[in-house]
Chains A and B, each alone.
Chain A
Amino acid sequence: MDEQLISKKELLELTGISYGQLYRWKRKDLIPEEWFIRKSTFTGQETFFPKAKILARIDKIIDMKDNLSLNELADMFSPNLAEMALHKSDIINRGIVSTMALQYFTDQTGDADAFTFERLIHMYVLDRMLHTGEMSLEEGKGLLQVLRDHYQRFEGRSCELMLVRKMGVSTFLLSASPGEVYFDNGTKLVSHISLASCLEELKAKLT
């Protein structure tokens, strides 16, 4: 995938943060190791970052660092699941997912009073996919099945979810990121979302 890169120098100028802050955030795992891309330039080795990702991340850190400690922030950005459960009524009251998505989720996977974080993220992804209008309710079953059976395999790593359709038949794909996937011409990539960013959004909603 072609991503626009930004050099470390430009990044610091643009965001106004200092070298010390950048290195501290790296130490605290607020900025993932794989975003530091070393490249040779005419002046020597320099570090670059994926522009859109790093700018969004730094915005978020600056936004939230007054309210949360660096360790709490690190938990939020980590691809690990949080250890918590939420009451059913809280899910609706806090508007974490729509009531329709919750209803569909409980119809498919069974009702409960409280939901673990793992089930919450499934619910959240379902809600997001339904909201985009790219996925039908019927396809939601496939989505929940792939998440339930395989999402744990990516423990601690970020992954992406893809919905592809060919001749009206839909398939869900979970793949580790960064990674590349190619399809033949008859296949349409309907939807492509990063589960790491879903996780981040969900954690932000919960705190």
Chain B
Amino acid sequence: MSQHLRDIIISGMGSSSGGSFQRVRIDGVGEINGDIVCASFVSNGKGKIAGSIQTDKFEVRGMCTVKGNMQAVHSRIDGTASIDGRLIGETIEINGTASVAFDCEAEQFKSHGSFNIGGLLNAGAIDIKLLHSCHVREIGGENISVKQGKPLSVFNKLFSSLFSSPHLETDTIEGDKVVLEYTKARVVRGTQVIIGPGCEIDLVEYKQSVQLHENAQVNSHIKL
């Protein structure tokens, strides 16, 4: 782009109608009333995007809602983000809570928190550390790992034990290398599958190898 792009910085309360920008930063309460294209988007506090967003870097500390689709090369969610469309990017890191209404695509997906994805989670490397309950319709990818996350403090542990213990719920998981813990799924398909403790799985289909933990509930497993 030949024209020099400007920044939006909202400190306190403010709104913008959207457009193309260099940097967008919200400290406080900010609203973008339209589609936005920018190099970086940082929201500390409460951000709201009424349209779609396309950016290289997306960071949320606090709360942020996106009404449309989100395309972010690198996104990091340290608070709460909810996206009413699709989320597409290269790397996605969740250290808080994220909800995505439709599909979620990335080369690397890392979660150390909780998420709710209404569509397919498709990523090359999926690394999920469970801290709260996570829901997703389907998971597909190359390396998929779901592990029990270490709670950060005693306080945290106390809280999570009051409610349901952290687990992942999904319909189908398909990948090359699949390692699971505390996962409820209907079908798990993969080349190498390791089912760890706390899993409840109806059917496991594998090509090369399977390992089942004694504390896992697997109704049937077949080699293809």
Contacts and interface: CB of A to CB of B under 8 A. Distances in A.
Most chain B beta-carbon contacts within 10 A, residue among A13, A23, A44 = A23
A29 B198 CA distance: 36
B122 interface: yes
Given A18-B191, A44-B171, A44-B187, A23 B224 contact: no
Contact of A24 (B124, B203, B207, B224): B124
A9 B140 CA distance: 14
Interface string B31-64: 0000000000000000000000000000000000
A22 B172 CA distance: 15
Interface in B171-200: 171-172, 174-176, 186-187, 189-191
Contacts of B186: 44
A22 B142 CA distance: 9
B72 to A, nearest CB: 15
Interface string A15-35: 000111011101100000000
B171 A20 contact: no
A19 B140 contact: yes
B30 interface: no
Contacts of B124: 20, 24, 27
B78 interface: no
A45 B171 contact: yes
B171 A19 contact: no
B95 to A, nearest CB: 23
B105 interface: yes
A45 B186 CA distance: 10
Interface in B45-98: none
A23 B190 CA distance: 12
Most chain A beta-carbon contacts within 10 A, residue among B105, B140, B141, B171 = B140
Contact of A23 (B140, B203, B207): B140
A20 B175 contact: yes
B87 to A, nearest CB: 13
Interface in B156-176: 171-172, 174-176
A19 B187 contact: no
Interface string A179-206: 0000000000000000000000000000
A10 to B, nearest CB: 11
Interface in B130-160: 140-143
A19 B189 CA distance: 8
B122 A27 contact: yes
Given A19-B174, A19-B175, A45-B171, A24 B142 contact: yes
A23 B142 contact: yes
Contacts of B107: 27
A23 B176 CA distance: 10
Nearest to B190: A19
Contacts of A44: 171-172, 186-187
A8 B120 CA distance: 15
Contacts of B141: 19-20, 23-24
A48 to B, nearest CB: 14
A23 B142 CA distance: 8
Contact of B122 (A9, A13, A23, A45): A23
A27 B224 CA distance: 25
B176 A20 contact: yes
Contacts of A26: 122, 140
A27 B89 CA distance: 10
7 contacts: A19-B176, A20-B142, A23-B140, A23-B174, A23-B175, A27-B123, A45-B172
Task: For the complex of A and B, list the 9 residue pairs with the smallest distance between their C-beta atoms, beginning with the closest.
Answer: A20-B142, A20-B176, A23-B140, A19-B174, A23-B122, A18-B176, A27-B105, A23-B141, A19-B175
Given A19-B174, A27-B105, 5 more contacts: A19-B189, A19-B191, A20-B141, A27-B107, A27-B124
